[in-house]
Amino acid sequence: MVILESRFHHIKALLARLRLDSSARLVVLVDKDGQQIAVHGELGDLDTTSLASLAAGNVAATGGMARLIGENEFPTLSHEGEKESIHICVIGRVLLLVVFDDRSSLGLVKLRSKQLSHELARVFAEIEKESAAARANSSLPFNGITDEEIDSLFSPA
Amino acid sequence: MTFINYASREINCKIVYYGPGLCGKTTNLQFIYDSTAAQARGKLISLATEADRTLFFDFMPLELGTVRGFKTRFHLYTVPGQVFYEASRKLILKGVDGVVFVADSQEERMDANIESLYNLEENLRTYGYELMKLPYVLQLNKRDLPNVIPTDELTTELQRKGEPVIEAVASTGAGVFDTLKAVAKQVLTELRKA
């Protein structure tokens, strides 16, 4: 997947809007393979890379359970804690993850996430097209990379 | 699937360590984690049983450095090796960019290696991947044990496509970084062809 700078800023703006509208602590967009795409909100010392990987694992596992009982997937997942909670919404090949506390409610987060999901789906349909075009035009940053450049990553500094 | 972000100038790739139960997949990751500077790696997440067997996966992000202004980050995963965790093992392969097969060199684990390798090929196929086309390294682990099969015999039995074969003792770290380097190089070379 290739995310161009303009798309990234658009996504960040959408996440900022969701965070505000849902009074959430943090909003994270994650690829289904576990890669973090964008994040907005009160990060603190939260390890969002691990959060992204675990969210993808979580969705993959519940998706597996869904298929066992004849469903395609569960489009939303919610985990409610004593103080902090997580809501995950599956939008095509990305996951919208909202972390919220008692300043918000699950109902509000669900509603706002659903409202945004249509717009995010459109954005990612565009990203899919751009990614395919970048591959077809050989315009990816690693095209023509030399063996020396690759080796330089593995040489001691 | 490789993820390229032009705004943060990052390239993220996913590497999966596969192999039979107790072959040393988690030990590989643990050694990489212990030997890497804190600023180059994230947390090592282990979803394990109470008996310390991998239940779902281990995960660790590792930053190798910058090429052409892009930070190259590798997300390293292990799968649960035990046969009955088949459903979750398959999930981890989704979106994989490179695979390391960790073989247990001990004589009594030969059948488990063959079964696991067959299982890898089958699970990759369900996602539309072909082992023959994927960056791939065969690691022959536990070379320090007394009852190991000779390297050439193991290679004849387990090598699929002329992939790099690396002897290792993951518990001491021997061969661990050579394995990672061999698979990471192939993943980056694939990006050149993309």
For residue B38, what is the domain's CATH number?
A: 3.40.50.300
Range of the domain at B72: 3-193
Structure confidence at residue B194 as a pLDDT band (50, 70, 90): low
* Chain A contact for B172 (CB, 8 A cutoff): no
CATH domain A1-21+39-104+111-131 topology: Beta-Lactamase (3.30.450)
Mutate to test the interface with B, among A73, A142, A148, A151 (most CBs of B within 10 A): A142
Residues of B in contact with A8 (CB under 8 A): 5-8
According to the model, what pLDDT value does residue B8 have? 87
* Interchain CB contact of B40 with A (< 8 Å): no
Name which of A37, A61, A135 is nearest B194 (Cβ-Cβ).
A135
Query: What are the tens digits of pLDDT across the range A125-151?
Result: 999 999 888 877 777 777 778 888 888
Compare CB distances from A8 to B7, B94, B194 and report the shortest one's residue: B7
Which one of A2, A64, A151 has the shortest CB-CB distance to B4?
A: A2
Say how far apart CA B178 and CA B167 lie, in whole Å: 9
Residues B185, A150: C-beta atoms closer than 8 Å:
yes
Using CA atoms, how far residue B170 sits from A55, A114, B14, B145, B179, in Å, is 29, 46, 20, 12, 10
Q: 10-residue block means of pLDDT along chain A (157 residues)?
A: 92 97 97 93 92 94 94 96 97 96 97 96 94 79 80 72
Nearest C-alpha of chain A: how many angstroms from B59?
8
Domains identified in chain B, total number: 1
pLDDT tens readout for residues B130-161: 999 999 999 999 999 999 999 999 999 999 99
Choose the closest CB to B189 out of A8, A54, A150: A150
A136 and chain B in contact, CB less than 8 A:
no
- Between CA B73 and CA B59 the distance in angstroms is 13
Nearest CA among B126, B141, B193 for reference residue B172: B141
Interface pTM (ipTM) of the complex?
0.84
Q: Does the structure show a pLDDT above 70 at B19?
A: yes
Partners of residue B45 on adjacent β-strands: B59
Task: Pull the structure tokens for residue B47.
Answer: 């979803």
Q: What is the mean pLDDT of residues B59-76?
A: 92
Please check whether residue A104 is in contact with residue A24, taking contact to mean a CB–CB distance below 8 angstroms: yes
